[in-house]
Structure 1
Amino acid sequence: MAAQRHRRGLDARGYIEREGSLALVPHAFRPVVVAARERLQDVFGARLDGAYLYGSIPRGTARVGRSDLDLLLSLRDEPTGTDRADARALEAALDEEFTEIDGVGTLLFSRARLLSDLETHDLGWFVACLCTPLLGEDLAERLPRYRPDALLARETNGDLALLLPRWRERIAAAADSDEARRPLVRSMSRHLVRTGFTLVMPRWNGWTSDLGEMAGAFGAYYPERAADMRGAAVRGYEPTGDPAVLHSYAYELGPWLAGEYARVHGIKTPRP
């Protein structure tokens, strides 16, 4: 059992340090980041309050031709259908033009929601600790500092039980091909590993976004499930299209993890 105190990802006072910066963006990805910044301004104009990068590109760990470009947009008002359509069109254009990336994903939220009390320990934490400012005001300056505690664990990933029925619907609706299943394996693998990590995060007392380290931290406290989580971490980077993997996620590992999470940390505060 891992009993030692870990300080990875924390500052001297025990707060989670912000990961990523524009200075860490690998050279190969800088043109797409510049293009994204310019086009976001052109497409959204006054609707845009701010924009952020997150994921492997601002952490400096992106792989050419394998990693996607992850964006979060803070809008002055609640996102509309037009906003979402504009984001999808921009994603498609960037993905087609830049072979260095394997897809683009954009999250859209209103400034008010990102700064709301309800989202302080979920979306607020995400912006303050996992997002790198690209355009506009950095909302992290209006948010608190965060520790890897049980409250953060509950509010970030305490909703897995609610997601599992949607996962099963997506699996059932997917075409019967490895190509169609691989994106599901990738996203669900990553979600399960991150949920497993935040389950033990308060005891591990640190932060990391590396899937392998997350799985290792989890396995130290749940050795009987360690192999399952290590496998999910591998598939988060190198997904397969095996339908048996998706079945195990949706009907075995996922339900067990959701139940254990609720037992240890409780259920995430309901959203409207």
Structure 2
Amino acid sequence: MSKRGLDSLGYIEREGSPGRVPEAFRPVVAAARERVLGVFGARLHSAYLYGSIPRGTARVGRSDLDLLLALREDPTEADRADARTLDEALDKEFAQIDGAGTLLFGRAQVLSDLERHDLGWFVACLCTPLLGDDLAEELPCYRPDTLLARETNGDLALLLPRWRLRIAEATGATGIARATGAAEATGAGGPEEAALRPLVRHMSRHLVRTAFTLVMPRWNGWTSDLAEMAEVFAAHYPERNHPSRAAQLRKAAVLGHEPVGDRAVLRSYVDDLGPWLAEEYARVHGVKNPRP
């Protein structure tokens, strides 16, 4: 990939490729390809890898397998149940991955005008084709501009209440009971920690990426490296003008890779860093177009 992830015309280059998949993860990818086709068959339009595995940065035993499937019609609850079963089977069988997750969408949604600069961009630039006809061929080229910034991450204010609810559920009896088995199996510090660790990882990554896209048009480039994202943000929001924000994002970048099940971290996200970032994002780029 060229400097700052752009081609010679200033468009975001597609990251990842089958050739970059690390050797240790190739059996996982091969199994995923075969099983996706077996499960979804004629319902499937196309399948994609995304994340660290196709970027070639995955770590054995630490990285998850990320899949996106575009179905010919909108996915049903039965399709989602099939995807969960597939994810669970892959995660159980392959020690190389720390979980598997499959996103399901209908082809029409990926190509819709409403999703052109969000889901469409994600497929065209951040997904690596695995099966079927590549929908990127029906999508435009993308620049790292304010429209892309607004439509990708301009909804943080809407996410924060949902995050608070997830934290409450994870720290309540239901969340702790759900995590007890995982804690016992992995030797984790305790049931609450086991319940909170995935939330810390998810929210840390989301906040770092949102902070990066806040400044992406000024930086004029694209990266998926969390540490680099945090540094790009820090360069545009230095500590002398925004005390603690750069440090918070650098810490979040670390926790995105090595999460800890700490409720104080999560509270700081939903009570301090998240609200500030949502307000600043709306001021700079506006608010994402509402979805149904």
Query: Is 1:34 matched with 2:30?
Result: yes
1:191 matched to which residue of 2?
A: 206
Q: Find the counterpart in structure 2 of residue 257 from structure 1.
A: 277
Structure 2: how far apart are the matches of 1:196 and 1:86? 34
Write the distance in 1 (CA, Å) between the matches of 2:151 and 2:34. 34
> Deviation of residue 222 (structure 1)?
1.1
Of the structure 1 ranges 54-63 and 236-245, higher mean CA displacement relative to structure 2 is found in 236-245
**Structure 2 counterpart of 1:203:** 218
- 1:256 counterpart letter in structure 2: W
2:150 pairs with 1:135: no
SS at match of 2:5: coil
TM-score (norm 2): 0.90
Please list the CA deviations of residues 237-264 of structure 1 after superposition, one character each: whole Å capped at 9, or x if unmatched.
Answer: 0001111100000110000000000000
**How far did 1:228 drift?**
0.6
| Cα distance in 2, alignment partners of residues 188 and 138 from structure 1 | 30
**Cα separation, 2, equivalents of 1:170 and 1:152:** 28
CA distance in structure 2 between the partners assigned to 1:156 and 1:112 by the alignment = 18
CA distance in 2 between counterparts of 1:259 and 1:7 reads 31
Q: TM-score, normalised by structure 1?
A: 0.97
Measure the CA separation in 1 of the matches of 2:248 and 2:3: 26
Compute the displacement of 1:7 (Å): 4.4
Whichever residue aligns with residue 196 of structure 1, its letter is: A
Q: Could you tell me how far 1:86 is from its partner in structure 2?
A: 0.3
Q: CA–CA distance in 2 between the matches of 1:270 and 1:32?
A: 37
Structure 1 distance, partners of 2:272, 2:100, is 30
Separation of aligned partners in 1, 2:252 and 2:119: 24
CA distance, structure 1, for counterparts of residue 36 and residue 259 of structure 2? 30
What RMSD, in angstroms, separates the aligned Cα atoms of the two structures?
Answer: 0.9
* Structure ranking higher on relative contact order (CA contacts 8 Å, 6+ apart): 1
Question: SS where residue 8 of structure 1 aligns?
Answer: helix
Distance 1:222 1:187 in 2: 23
| Residue 91 (structure 1) aligned with residue 106 (structure 2) | no
In structure 2, stretches of 5+ residues that fail to align are 177-191
Structure 1 gaps, min length 5: 1-5
In the alignment, which residue of structure 1 is the partner of 2:196?
181
Structure 1 residue ranges (4+ consecutive) displaced by more than 6 angstroms after TM superposition = none
Check conservation: 1:48, 1:75, Cα contact below 8 A. Answer: yes
Are 1:59 and 2:55 counterparts?
yes
Match of 1:3 in 2: none
Whole-angstrom distance in 2 between the partners of 1:120 and 1:148 = 14
Report the identity percentage.
76
Q: Aligned-pair distance for 1:56?
A: 0.1
State the number of aligned residues. 267
CA distance in 2, matches of 1:83, 1:49: 13
